[in-house]
Amino acid sequence: MSKIILTGDRPTGRLHLGHYVGSLKRRVELQNSGEYDKIFIMIADAQALTDNADNPDKVRENIIEVALDYLSCGLDPAKSTLFIQSQIPELTELSFYYMNLVTVSRLQRNPTVKSEIQMRNFETSIPVGFFTYPISQAADITAFKATTVPVGEDQLPMIEQTREIVRKFNSVYGEALVEPDALIPQNSVCSRLPGTDGKAKMSKSLGNCIYLSDTEEEVRQKVFSMYTDPNHIKVSDPGSLEGNTVFIYLDAFATDEHFVEFLPEYKNLDELKAHYQRGGLGDMKVKRFLDAVLQKELAPIRARRKELEQDIPAIYEILRKGSEVAKQEAAQTLQEVKEAMRINYFDDAELIQAQQLKFNS
Ligand code: TRP
């Protein structure tokens, strides 16, 4: 069986370090591994509208931001198909049929939907489109017969829901769909990178994100004002690593080579951590190290973005071509689905013949 990747992001803002370590970096590695037969990367504008229905311009403006972030991180249109969800109407059609295979109570139990309903104060007035987006996500994944879905941990309930829909579909209508596996980051810190303020998640509305497109100065300022251990006041005080954002980021980003290059007094992160916990290591020194590590990672991405920004029409053209390729794939799957569901009529000569015989007798 072919190995196929599908994944994507909602275009509600520029992408940040949470996206990067949670999924984007891995996608580029998977793309370059050469192990996959097809790779589809989707800008999920239709899904973004499920909770931004009254703000279409936000979604519209951020398509290009997300595309630039993708390309500057190394996603390559020669190897991966980049496309826009709303341009593939087949996805909506698939969703409509999958809706028959999912109960309202099952959707209500989806932990990601549950927490999003709370976060958005939707409790008393949940938009139906939003409520059913896990079904549409199952359509996204199955339309491309994806075997592998690289995502952050928060998306696991979506993949589980997709797998249930696939099993149900295949048992009712016959094997037409492929059951996907999620691929989450190996390093658990990468699954949930906190905001610079120490809050559980980076979120644009909280203003605690470091964006891939931030300038060198913006990154430095954000690192220097990061949340650490509030009880670590004097350099000589013992410091705590628990909830200490700077160390959590180092867990996600720092390698032994970074120590050789930027902080050779320490062999590795364990030594640095031990010194911090003992006392005698100031926050500023650790922050300067984190800044150096992040700048090293982000500098090439930033430079590539600057170049790509010079030709915006070319970026839209990449998305247009990708959307055409994606549409063909999805149309093929939709046809198979309709056959399996017995809702193909005009291409079925046997059906027409049999119906004629019935009326002749
Ligand atoms: N739900 C994902 C997010 O919020 C975006 C998304 C939409 C997606 N469809 C998908 C991710 C299919 C993986 C597979 O970021």
Is residue 180 within 6 Å of ligand 1 at its C-beta?
no
> What's the rounded mean pLDDT across residues 329-356?
96
Note the pLDDT tens digit of each residue in 18-75: 999 989 999 999 999 999 999 999 999 999 999 999 999 999 999 999 999 999 999 9
What is the pLDDT, as a whole number, of residue 287?
Answer: 98
Residue of 84, 157, 148, 85 whose CA lies nearest to 116:
157
Confidence of residue 122 (pLDDT cuts 50, 70, 90): confident
Is residue 141 within 6 Å of ligand 1 at its C-beta?
yes
> What's the rounded mean pLDDT across residues 113-120?
87
> What's the rounded mean pLDDT across residues 11-17?
95
Identify the bridge partners of residue 41 per DSSP, sorted by sequence position: 7, 82
What is the pLDDT, as a whole number, of residue 188?
Answer: 82
What is the pLDDT, as a whole number, of residue 118?
Answer: 87
Note the pLDDT tens digit of each residue in 200-251: 888 888 899 999 999 999 999 999 999 999 999 999 999 999 999 999 999 9
> What's the rounded mean pLDDT across residues 77-81?
98
What is the pLDDT, as a whole number, of residue 186?
Answer: 84
Calculate how far, in angstroms, residue 112's C-alpha sits from the geometric centre of ligand 1: 12
What is the pLDDT, as a whole number, of residue 242?
Answer: 93
Of 59, 82, 94, 140, which is best to mutate to test ligand 1, by the most ligand atoms within 8 angstroms of its C-beta? Answer: 140
Task: Check pLDDT > 90 for residue 190.
Answer: no
Q: pTM of the full predicted structure?
A: 0.94
Is residue 337 within 6 Å of ligand 1 at its C-beta?
no
What is the pLDDT, as a whole number, of residue 152?
Answer: 86
- Ligand 1 atom 8: residue of nearest CA: 8
Note the pLDDT tens digit of each residue in 324-339: 999 999 999 999 999 9
Asked if 203 and 212 count as a contact pair (C-beta separation under 8 A), the reply is no
Domains of the chain: 4-192+312-354 (3.40.50.620), 216-308 (1.10.240.10)
Asked if 183 and 151 count as a contact pair (C-beta separation under 8 A), the reply is yes
What is the pLDDT, as a whole number, of residue 280?
Answer: 95
What is the pLDDT, as a whole number, of residue 192?
Answer: 84
Is residue 151 within 6 Å of ligand 1 at its C-beta?
yes
Is residue 8 within 6 Å of ligand 1 at its C-beta?
yes
Which ligand 1 atom sits closest to the C-alpha of 158? 1
